[in-house]
Structure 1
Amino acid sequence: MKIVFKIIPAIFLLTAAIRVNAQNKRQWQDIDTSGFHTRSQNSKNGFTLITINKDSLFSAETLQRIKNAFWQIYPREVKRYNKKALRTVTILIGNDYKGVAATLNGVVKIDQDWLTKNPEDIDVFTHELMHIVQGYTYNVPDNWLTDGIADYARYTFGVNNSKSGWALPAFQNGQSYKNSYRVAARFLVWVEQYKNKNIVKKLDEALRQGNYQPAIWQKLTGSKLDELWTAYAANPMLKTQ
């Protein structure tokens, strides 16, 4: 079976949402704990967090901060976007995934080397948690939106973005919403501020239900997607948060 995934340069602090077939979904969830590992499980208000650490040298402080971030972030994302999202989430810290982080079926795998070198980048987890909330079960037509919305969630719900040096990028000529991630996230913030305050919620809902069509942009804002980008490029200033 072939696994298709996106390789993302670490310099952009990007993460990947993996789409795989049923067999590889099982492989993703089958976590090898034959070597060193610690496992903890905590439940609160209907949510359960399972944490597996396979790095004996990994910082206990960073691990606790990740756990704390889950309780600060995930229930809020679920409440805002998808009340039917999974209630049990597993975090795996180790070398099972190389490339910052990735998520599938409620299992978030974070590269231990990335967090060891970048201990302030706690909100990489915020991005991944939003992928669980999204729960898209098919190939999204405008796939730039998947990670654009996840980075929008990181911007909105993040607890440590400033300390990690993560921020939405300033607009530059040559950018496109198809750049996805932070570029798309900033565009979504602009559309939210100037056109429709519920745009992200509506787009996410349509994507999850499988009825997203490009015409939704005009329905929700009065303008087509490319027309919105042109207006954004002409005046990309965001309102003060």
Structure 2
Amino acid sequence: MKTIRLLILSTGLFIHACAHDNSTPVPEAATIAVTTDSITRGDYTLVFINQSPTFDKQVKERMINTFFTVYPVLANAYNPNTLKKVTFVIDPAYTGVAATSGGRVVYNPEWFRQHPGDIDVVTHEVMHIVQAYPGGAGPGWLTEGIADYVRYRYGVDNAGAGWAMPDYNPSQRYDNSYRITARFLVWLEKNVNDKLVKTLDANMRAKTYSAGIWQAQTGKTLEDLWQDYASRPTL
């Protein structure tokens, strides 16, 4: 593993209204520690950029190991043409949980400080890289539902994070996204079509998804499938 350590100096500039006043305080330089690790295992490379000097080293190692455990499996199962090089960024300025764009995933270190066991955030996010859906490929609720379905199926330690899919309740809809949609997909594969998610995923990536795909793959509309699920939601 190759590690590069950088120090980025950020200085502030104060302009005083009186040019002859030499007492204006000069701020101390703010130092941001950045480490960059490049790790290659087999066909895949992970570049890990850490901008948080207090980020837990054990969490970092678990993130790296989770990537190399899960990503090749997802590539093989869903998209063999997925990117071979991925970048993780630990960014203290980011206030969400995690976000993926192209082959780059940004993580909030504060989230992992509060939830160090939530390692399968990695599984969810790298599935977005594998998905590689073009703009306008299909509904966002399905994109996120598939990513959480994958977390459920392939996650390395969902139990350790206290992460589980919610039980069905009548207030839910199939397009609630994330875990609610994921549970619906699990039920559909168990009871209707065991290859449905791979078919949906491939059509989203090819930008051939339409509402009619549910009828074509299951013999029923999406609304009818949800009603069937609601009537007997046990997995």
Q: Same fold (TM over 0.5)?
A: yes
> Going by fraction, where is strand more abundant, 1 or 2?
2
Say if 2:226 is the partner of 1:236: no
Q: CA deviation at 1:141?
A: 3.1
Matched AA of 2:155: G
Q: Deviations over 1:135-168 (max 9, x none)?
A: 0111233221000000001001101100111001
Query: Is the 2:141–2:175 Cα contact (8 Å) retained in structure 1?
Result: yes
Q: Report what 1:4 is aligned to.
A: none
Instruction: Give the structure 1 partner of residue 119 of structure 2.
Output: 122
**Partner of 1:77 in structure 2?**
74
In the TM superposition, what is the alpha-carbon distance from 1:97 to its structure 2 partner? 2.2
Question: For the residues of structure 2 that align with 1:159 and 1:33, how far apart are their CA atoms?
Answer: 34
**1:191-202 paired onto structure 2 within 5 Å:** 191-202=188-199
User: SS at 2:37's partner residue?
Assistant: strand
Q: State the alpha-carbon separation in 1 of the partners of residues 35 and 153 from structure 2.
A: 31
Instruction: Give 1:14-29 correspondences, 5 Å limit.
Output: none
Aligned to 1:135: 132
Pairing 1:65–2:62 present: yes
Q: Is the 8 A contact 2:137 2:205 kept in 1?
A: no
Identity %: 43
Structure 1 moving runs of 4+ over 6 Å: none
Quick one: structure 1 residues 189 and 41, their matched pair in 2 at CA, closer, same or farther if it must change by over 3 Å? same
Q: How many residues align?
A: 207
Give yes or no for contact 2:138–2:207 (8 Å, CA) kept in 1. Answer: no
Q: What RMSD over aligned residues (CA atoms) do the two structures have, in Å?
A: 1.2
Return 5+ residue gaps in structure 1 as ranges.
Answer: 1-31
Question: Do the aligned partners of 1:140 and 1:146 also contact (CA within 8 Å) in 2?
Answer: no
Pick aligned residue for 1:168 from 165, 169, 172: 165
TM-score when scaled to structure 1?
0.84
> Computing the radius of gyration over CA atoms, which structure comes out larger, 1 or 2?
2
Instruction: Confirm or deny that 1:101 pairs with 2:98.
Output: yes
Q: Which of 147, 155, 158 matches 1:150?
A: 147
Higher relative contact order (CA 8 A, sep 6+): 1
Supply the distance in 1 between the matched residues of 2:7 and 2:146 (Cα, whole angstroms).
33
Structure 1: distance between partners of 2:7 and 2:210: 43
